[in-house]
Structure 1
Amino acid sequence: MENIKAKKKYGQNFLKDDSILHKIIEAMPNNENHTVEIGPGLGDLTQHMLKYKDVTAYEIDSDLLTVLQSKFANEIQSRKLELIHTDVLQIWKSKNTLYDGKYDLIANLPYYIATNIILSAIEDSNCEHIIVMIQKEVAQKFAANEGEKEFSSLGVMTKLTSKEAKILFDVPPTAFEPPPKVTSSILYIKKDLNNSLDDEFKSFLKAAFTQPRKKLSKNLSSKIDKTLLKEIYLALNIDENIRPHELSASLYHQMYEKVILNDKRKRN
């Protein structure tokens, strides 16, 4: 390993287990998509991916950037690798995408911004597959099904925008240097590029899961008139005692559509 210490402020934990790296490579989709990596670290995963695809890698740490520029000088010169020194969330804010063309996001993500990165990738219409290593508890939320206690707004959004979402395998702390305090998981999402969610729906979901263990109707009463809520429950045959994690993603969407329809009627 290069003489570089992981920095806490960037949530760095360098993956050192070769068998895990090979399993991530095996999970790469066999397609013509470009590959984008966020936080390449010391470039171990990058090195493996470059055998199969051209890669655009985003690195925020200038010390690591120097290491990567030296390690991959030939690949950068031949344009197999594009190394960009920036904060990806800022790129998403300004350009809405990390690559001008269809791409797959494959990365070992820093825990502290993993959720924001995945949500941004879900919204990015150029991103088709997401294969990322993140904290297991967060991965479970994205991959959860209705009825499971981990099912939250993240699970609803994933269900409505993807064809498939699952945890491929877990990664123990010992696979990293330094070892994190938690178990990690590899999350796989295959997006449905025809589907997207508007900000109002996300706001509706946020209200629905305000207090996850309370009744859904209690949470939504802050946002929706109680009489209308009763009508919607009746029309969609929803149990009045249902909790937020028990309702399916499609029913959340149908509820939202009825709220929007009601708003339109009011305006006309």
Structure 2
Amino acid sequence: MATYDKVRAKKSLGQHFLHDEGIARKITEGLLLDKTGNQVLEIGPGMGVLTKYLVEITNLQLKVIEIDRDSVAYLKRHFALLDGKIIEGDFLKEDLDSVFSGTFSIIGNFPYNISSQIFFRVLEQRNRVEQVVCMLQKEVADRIASRHGNKTYGILSVLLQTFYNIENLFKVPPGVFTPPPKVMSAVIRLVRNDRKQLGCDEKLFVTVVKTGFNQRRKTLRNALKNLTLSSDVAALPVMDKRAEQLSVEDFIQLTQVIEKSRAVQHGV
């Protein structure tokens, strides 16, 4: 491959191209295809460092989505097997019903500047996205996989762990990228768990989680004050805790209590 044919990383797109082939193969091997279907969507393939290993997997139904025109042109020149399978677009806005019917998995080296947004989109599509294997900023990966009681535990930790089993796979140093980022990276795997229903209003659950962590140094009694809690709910022992001390199940139970209290208040 001639040097002039390479795609230049664009800072505006948060691009850092992985050039370590060993790590690229290891990332693709993180897909648990024996436990899921064979439809896979790669987000942000760039110059195809993961793609070249994905196309080698037998019976894999692969599609890639790339927002960068230069990268799209590069992929079309170098990956004949992707003919008709390259989507030039934004994963955050793309109609995923037109990409795959049924369930699928996601893989990719996520741009650091939009990784959280990608995960919120995954949550919206959780009944279709069976698993995610991705590389992202280590700090965000640690936050997502963090358990309650840790300082890194937060909104994304709770919301993703509600519906996915999360595993931190391995760390990736800056030197294997062009250009090298200023931070460490990590690869994580999310696999959809068996939870179908929360047993409470989902919007209220998300509100309770986000509001609790927005003032994470305060007790829940003070952090959730704007939710106009009844005196009975406000007096519960759990309200003496901070958001980071509650597990996913604790947040679900708290939301259930708040929901029931509101129903009584409104005579439902």
TM-score, normalising length: structure 1: 0.89
Encode CA deviations 1:5-38: one digit per residue, 9 max, x unaligned. 1001111000001111121122111333311111
Aligned twin of 1:84: 87
Map 1:48-127 to 2 at 5 A: 48-52=53-57, 53-73=60-80, 75-77=81-83, 82-91=85-94, 94-95=95-96, 99-124=100-125, 125-127=127-129
Aligned twin of 1:179: 180
- Give the letter for the 1:86 counterpart: G
Aligned length: 256
- Give the letter for the 2:155 counterpart: S
Contact persistence 1:106–1:131 (CA under 8 A): yes
Deviation of the 1:106 alpha carbon: 0.8
Gaps of 5+ in 2: none
Deviates more, 1:3-12 or 1:195-204: 195-204
Secondary structure of the equivalent of 2:56? coil
Encode CA deviations 1:64-91: one digit per residue, 9 max, x unaligned. 1111011112x134x6xx1000111111
Paired with 1:196 and 1:110, the residues of 2 have a C-alpha distance of: 31
Aligned twin of 2:135: 133
Equivalent in 205, 216, 221 of residue 220 of structure 2? 216
Equivalent in 12, 22, 25 of residue 22 of structure 1? 25
TM-score, normalising length: structure 2: 0.89
Deviates more, 1:256-265 or 1:175-184: 256-265
- Give the letter for the 1:76 counterpart: L
Paired with 2:149 and 2:195, the residues of 1 have a C-alpha distance of: 26
Contact persistence 1:35–1:105 (CA under 8 A): yes
Paired with 1:69 and 1:196, the residues of 2 have a C-alpha distance of: 42
Contact persistence 1:160–1:195 (CA under 8 A): no
Q: CA, structure 1 residues 43+71, in 2 after alignment: closer, same or farther (shift >3 Å)?
A: same
Aligned twin of 2:209: 205
Secondary structure of the equivalent of 1:44? coil
Encode CA deviations 1:200-225: one digit per residue, 9 max, x unaligned. 32122111111222222210112132
Deviation of the 1:229 alpha carbon: 2.7
Deviation of the 1:196 alpha carbon: 5.8
Q: CA, structure 1 residues 7+143, in 2 after alignment: closer, same or farther (shift >3 Å)?
A: same
Contact persistence 2:38–2:104 (CA under 8 A): yes
Gaps of 5+ in 1: none
Contact persistence 1:97–1:126 (CA under 8 A): no
RMSD: 1.9
Paired with 2:178 and 2:54, the residues of 1 have a C-alpha distance of: 21
Contact persistence 2:134–2:188 (CA under 8 A): yes
Deviation of the 1:96 alpha carbon: 6.7
> Does residue 41 of structure 2 align to residue 36 of structure 1?
yes
Paired with 1:89 and 1:96, the residues of 2 have a C-alpha distance of: 13
Q: CA, structure 1 residues 15+109, in 2 after alignment: closer, same or farther (shift >3 Å)?
A: same
- Give the letter for the 2:43 counterpart: I
Contact persistence 1:123–1:196 (CA under 8 A): no
Secondary structure of the equivalent of 1:222? helix
Secondary structure of the equivalent of 1:43? coil
Contact persistence 1:161–1:196 (CA under 8 A): no
Aligned twin of 2:249: 250
Contact persistence 1:147–1:246 (CA under 8 A): yes
Q: CA, structure 1 residues 265+98, in 2 after alignment: closer, same or farther (shift >3 Å)?
A: farther
% identical equivalent positions: 30
Encode CA deviations 1:159-183: one digit per residue, 9 max, x unaligned. 2112x21210111100100001111
> Does residue 161 of structure 2 align to residue 159 of structure 1?
yes
Paired with 1:193 and 1:249, the residues of 2 have a C-alpha distance of: 14
